[in-house]
Amino acid sequence: DAKTTQPPSMDCAEGRAANLPCNHSTISGNEYVYWYRQIHSQGPQYIIHGLKNNETNEMASLIITEDRKSSTLILPHATLRDTAVYYCIVRVYNNNDMRFGAGTRLTVKP
């Protein structure tokens, strides 16, 4: 019962922006969009989250469409160290039932 749909893999050139899409057409009004990434052999790492407004932090930007049915994670200047699996998750703000899908494997190439 996947709540999100992501492409299985993407490539990006080093130094360019990486735009990772996520579809969440059944998102509820009280559900947030969260993004995590997992670099090989490490634990997942929190990146960013948002409800309906665009968000930016030191790692990335999150763009959520007005109807909230999809979002895009933007890594503005991808580096080789950004090669990882990126997970898009929707959940209620303080609901601890957070489940991961298959994610998108991003490969940043020199």
Partner 1 sequence: DAGVIQSPRHEVTEMGQEVTLRCKPISGHNSLFWYRQTMMRGLELLIYFNNNVPIDDSGMPEDRFSAKMPNASFSTLKIQPSEPRDSAVYFCASSLQASGYGYTFGSGTRLTVV
Query: Where along the sequence are the contacts to partner 1 (CB under 8 A)?
Result: 32, 34, 36, 41-47, 49, 87, 93-94, 96-103
Q: Least separation, in Å, of the C-beta of 14 and partner 1?
A: 26
Q: Least separation, in Å, of the C-beta of 49 and partner 1?
A: 7
Q: Least separation, in Å, of the C-beta of 95 and partner 1?
A: 9
Report long-range pairs for 93-100 (Cβ below 8 Å, ≥24 apart): 93/30, 93/32, 98/34, 100/36, 100/44
User: Could you give the 3-state DSSP secondary structure of residue 108?
Assistant: strand
C-beta closer to partner 1: residue 41 or 53: 41
For the chain, the distance separating the N- and C-terminal CA atoms, rounded to the nearest angstrom, is 37
